[in-house]
Structures are given as C-alpha cells and as structure tokens.
C-alpha cells in the first residue's frame, strides 16, 4: 500500500510518500515540501500549492492520502491557511477517487513515538529510524508528512480512531456494493 502524507500549510506544505503494509516496516518513496510565495495573494498561493499537490498525486499514485486534521489555534490566519490547504489535498484526492483519512497531531505522534505529546525533534528522530534514513527528514513539515503516512499505514482497520473515508470518496457503485455486503451480513 502506498500512502501520501500531507502536513498542510500555506507557506510550507509537507509531503511524504511511504510504501508498506500494516504492521510491517515502511519504506520511503519520496519526501518534500510544496511552497508558495509569502508575498502573493492567498488565491495565488493556494493555486501554487494545489499544482504541486496534483503533481505529487500524479507522480506517486498513492492508494490513500493522510492529511493532518486542522485544530484550533490562537492565530486565525494560520489556521485558515492550514485548513484551506487541507481542503485542497482532500479535493485533489477525491477527484482521483483516492480514500482520504484525517489524523490528529497527537494521534500521529503517538503512532510514531508512543507519546501523543512528543516534540517535533522526537518525531523527526523516530521517522528517521522507522524508515531507516541516514539523515533526519527536514524541514519538520516533511517529517510530519512522513509521520502522517506511517500513522495511516499502521492504523488497523476498524480500530478506535482508525482512518475514516472522506464523505463522497466512494463511487455510487462502491456504496451500493458496501450496502449489499452489510445487508448480506445482517441476514446471515
């Protein structure tokens, strides 16, 4: 399974792709940061980030996209930009019918370090170890994106806090098939 992790941000959007299977060692495919010029208008910055997200989706063809769930901060401008970029990632994935999962920062930290309150440096170090990298993934946005992908890859299906599909990420045929399977299970 291939997962694209997205650590949304308007100035720096971390992107990380890993391959692996649940419970198995993950392998780095690609890591980077999508950037937008701080001096541009917000609409142009979003367009710049969106183009880079599209390139990553096209180049790496992930089976799933894991996006950091936006949480409230005191800085409304930062939260708005982060939420807008998270939305871009979800729409780009949905356009390709790729399942999307949202993970909280504490869920991701707990998955890779065992501590939901781990510092960024600890997350970077564990991502380096888990992927067998020679150097720490930098910047922190890139490490966070890889941590998101690892978290999603290792999250067991059906577990509390397991990845949830974004609404509408299934086609009508897939929804009908799933409903028919559920009905058959209830009758059995």
- Say whether the peptide bond before residue 139 is cis (omega within 30 degrees of 0): yes
78-106 pLDDT tens trace: 788 899 999 999 999 999 999 999 999 99
Tokens of 88: 């871009």
Q: Give Cβ neighbours of residue 7 (< 8 Å, ≥ 6 apart).
A: 13, 14, 15, 16, 68, 141, 142, 144, 145, 148
Residue 134 marked in a binding site: no
Residue 63 marked in a binding site: no
Residue 40 marked in a binding site: no
Q: At 167, is the pLDDT very low, low, confident or very high (cuts 50, 70, 90)?
A: very low
Q: What is the CATH number of the domain that holds 68?
A: 3.30.420.10
The pLDDT value recorded for residue 149 is: 97
Q: At 72, is the pLDDT very low, low, confident or very high (cuts 50, 70, 90)?
A: low
Residue with the two structure tokens 């890139």: 142
Q: Is the pLDDT of residue 47 over 90?
A: yes
Q: Give Cβ neighbours of residue 29 (< 8 Å, ≥ 6 apart).
A: 2, 17, 18, 19, 60
When pLDDT is averaged across residues 28-50 and rounded to a whole number, the result is 97
How many domains does the chain divide into? 1
Instruction: Say if CB 146 and CB 136 are below 8 A apart.
Output: no
- Domain residues for the domain of 154 are 2-187
Q: Is the pLDDT of residue 169 over 50?
A: no
How far is it, in rounded angstroms, from Cα 187 to Cα 57? 40
Q: Give Cβ neighbours of residue 87 (< 8 Å, ≥ 6 apart).
A: none
The pLDDT value recorded for residue 182 is: 63
What amino acid positions are annotated as catalytic residues?
7, 68, 141
More confident residue, 173 or 7: 7
Q: Give Cβ neighbours of residue 176 (< 8 Å, ≥ 6 apart).
A: none
């Amino acid at each position: 399974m291939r997962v694209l992790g997205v650590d949304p941000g308007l100035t720096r959007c971390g992107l990380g792709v890993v391959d692996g299977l649940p419970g198995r060692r993950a392998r780095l495919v690609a890591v980077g940061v999508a950037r937008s010029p701080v001096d541009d208008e917000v609409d142009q910055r979003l367009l710049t980030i969106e183009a880079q997200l599209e390139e990553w989706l096209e180049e790496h063809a992930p089976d799933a996209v894991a996006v950091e769930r936006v949480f409230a901060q005191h800085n409304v401008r930062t939260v708005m930009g982060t939420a807008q970029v998270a939305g871009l990632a979800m729409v780009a994935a949905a356009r390709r019918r790729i399942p999307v999962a949202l993970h909280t920062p504490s869920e991701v930290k707990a998955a890779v370090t065992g501590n939901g309150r781990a510092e960024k440096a600890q997350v970077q170090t564990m991502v380096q170890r888990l992927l067998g990298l020679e150097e720490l993934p930098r910047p922190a946005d890139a490490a966070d994106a890889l941590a998101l992908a690892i978290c999603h890859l290792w999250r067991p299906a059906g577990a509390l806090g397991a990845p949830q599909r974004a609404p509408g990420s299934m086609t009508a045929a897939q929804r009908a098939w799933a409903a028919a399977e559920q009905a058959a299970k209830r009758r059995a």
